[in-house]
Amino acid sequence: MKTIFICEYVTGGGYINKKISKKLFVQANIILKSLLNDFNKIPNLKIIYTWDYRYKEITKRKRTQCVFIKKNPWKIWSHLIKKSDFFFPIAPESNGDLLKIVKFGNSQKKNLIGSNIVAIKIASSKYKTYKLFKKYSIPTITTFKNIKKINYKNNNKWVIKPDDGAGCEKNHIFSNKNKMLNFINLNKNYVIQPLIKGESYSANIISDKSKFKILNFNKQKIFFNKKKITFNGTKFLKKIAYEKKIKKYIDIIVSKLSGLNGFFGIDFIIFKKQILFVDINPRITTSYKQLSKNIKINVAEKILNTLG
């Protein structure tokens, strides 16, 4: 029997010394529960996962071991990686968490499920992702790191986001130039984009280095208020407008950022019949929930098979 160690960073001990926001915990918990459900259906596979002791344990499952984390998790994670055949790290890009845990996994020389370091470094930065899109003529939203290069006459409202932010984390909407300048001067590592209120979508993709497959598209539930953009989950889609064109652009993105592997997502918006690509998520996202049920295949089995 083979063993997989699923290390979900947020619920699995990565935040052991700090408070986890309710929203972040809920999202991470959705991902972990969904993965445990799907991997549990694979025969002859034992699952190990870690769990922050401050929270109630997920319902017990057969062939599944929960290891509680009460202090610094890295030693326990190292031990569990060594005793497992496969290591599946999941973490937000924020603060370099995903990069850190993938580097750690690589140092243990195990079968690691997911994208490589180069792909994660680019996809974890909104500005580097923007530069990648521009380089290969992928339609995208103009993104600035240098506020001096902005022409304020081109747009009335602007959104400021952490360069390494996951989803709609810590974004701010500004219509006042001086307030925006003050914010940028006080806060480092943010990017600035014109506010575009298009319809938001994502693609779930699986890749094994040699080929990739788009599993489905999702409609993102995005809400705008005066001060920020909020994300409230996704809806599974059976069809999407401009599908042929969207797939053509995704093909270019995946071929040019060849280190994308395992399960990942690409976000885009449709605004006035124009497709604009926004983000690459080099990891599992909450849109994984119910995905196996909706497309009638066990996605976890497909993820495991990306190792060859």
Where do the domains of the chain lie?
Answer: 2-112, 121-139+197-305, 147-194
- Three-class HEC string of the chain: CEEEEEEECHHHHHCCCCCCCHHHHHHHHHHHHHHHHHHCCCCCEEEEEEEECCCCCCCCCCCEEEEEECCCCHHHHHHHHHCCCEEEEECCCHHHHHHHHHHHHHHCCCEECCCCHHHHHHHCCHHHHHHHHHHCCCCECCCECCHHHCCHHHCCCEEEEECCCCCCCCCEEECCHHHHHHHHHHCCCEEEEECCCCEEEEEEEEECCCCEEEEEEEEEEEEECCCCEEEEEEEEECCCCCHHHHHHHHHHHHHHCCCCCEEEEEEEEEECCEEEEEEEECCCCHHHCCHHHHHCCCHHHHHHHCCC
User: Rounded to two decimals, what is the model's pTM?
Assistant: 0.94
pLDDT tens, residue by residue, 61-94: 889 999 999 999 999 999 999 999 999 999 999 8
Burial label, 287 (beta-carbon count in 10 A; 0-12, 13-18, 19+): buried
Q: Tell me: the pLDDT tens digits for 22-55?
A: 889 999 999 999 999 999 999 999 999 999 999 9
User: Which CATH architecture describes the domain 2-112?
Assistant: 3-Layer(aba) Sandwich (3.40)
Residue scoring higher pLDDT (153 or 144): 144
CATH number attached to the domain at 121-139+197-305? 3.30.470.20
User: Residue 97 and residue 114: Cα distance in Å, rounded?
Assistant: 14
Judged against a pLDDT cut of 80, whether residue 164 lies above it is answered with: yes
Reported as a pLDDT band with limits 50, 70 and 90, residue 176 is confident
Q: How confident is the model at residue 146 (pLDDT cuts 50, 70, 90)?
A: confident
Q: In the structure, what pLDDT confidence band is assigned to residue 99 with cuts at 50, 70 and 90?
A: very high
pLDDT of residue 149: 83
Residue 308: predicted pLDDT: 63
At residue 235, the pLDDT reads 95
